[in-house]
């Protein structure tokens, strides 16, 4: 969802985002919501009073990459730093094999990542890892670059 843009009769972009997020939560009751460049700060305060988020929703991550979970259905745990290093190493080794290009190593993606282990409360044996990376790639025009 992108709720950015100019202010209009629908309100400011920030108001539209808050309204859209609240509507999704109340209408669909998702167990997990993914965010990029989202600040949870103040979500239970005055600035969100017109768009309340139920108390059972919790936030994990940081501004660049984060998730909101329904804590009644889902439990999340942070991954150890060693796991993050292994994931990055695997990405660097295996990514973009179709193009025979290596994963870029000239940046540090960890600050833009949210890596968690997700468990479903009703099925404790059902677990999976959620790897979110907020990565704004430069605008590209060639077909080869778009595949990256």
CB 128 within 8 A of CB 122: no
* pLDDT tens digit sequence for 107-141: 677 777 788 889 999 888 888 877 777 766 555 55
CA 51 to chain CA centroid, Å, is 20
pTM: 0.72
SS3 1: coil
Instruction: With residue 21 as reference, give the H or E element that holds it.
Output: helix 13-28
CB 68 within 8 A of CB 28: no
∠ Cα 70 75 79 (to 5°): 130
Q: In which residue are the tokens 């745990």 written?
A: 77
* pLDDT tens digit sequence for 72-89: 999 998 887 777 778 777
Reference 60, options 44, 74, 78, 42; nearest CA is: 78
pLDDT class for 148, splitting at 50, 70, 90?
A: very low
* pLDDT tens digit sequence for 32-58: 998 888 888 888 888 889 999 999 999
| 105 or 65: which leads in pLDDT | 65
Instruction: With residue 66 as reference, give the H or E element that holds it.
Output: strand 65-70
């Amino acid at each position: 969802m992108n709720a950015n843009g100019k202010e209009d009769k629908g309100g400011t972009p920030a108001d539209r985002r808050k309204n859209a997020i609240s509507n999704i939560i109340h209408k669909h009751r998702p167990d997990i919501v993914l965010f990029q460049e989202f600040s949870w700060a103040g979500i239970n305060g005055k600035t969100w009073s017109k768009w309340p988020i139920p108390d059972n929703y919790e936030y994990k991550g940081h501004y660049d990459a984060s998730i909101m979970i329904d804590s009644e259905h889902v439990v999340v745990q942070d991954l150890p730093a060693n796991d993050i290093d292994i994931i990055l190493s695997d990405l660097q080794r295996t990514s973009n094999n179709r193009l025979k290009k290596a994963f870029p190593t000239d940046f540090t993606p960890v600050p833009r990542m949210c890596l968690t282990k997700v468990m479903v409360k009703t099925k404790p044996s059902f677990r999976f890892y959620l790897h979110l990376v907020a990565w704004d790639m430069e605008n590209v025009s060639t077909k080869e670059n778009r595949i990256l």
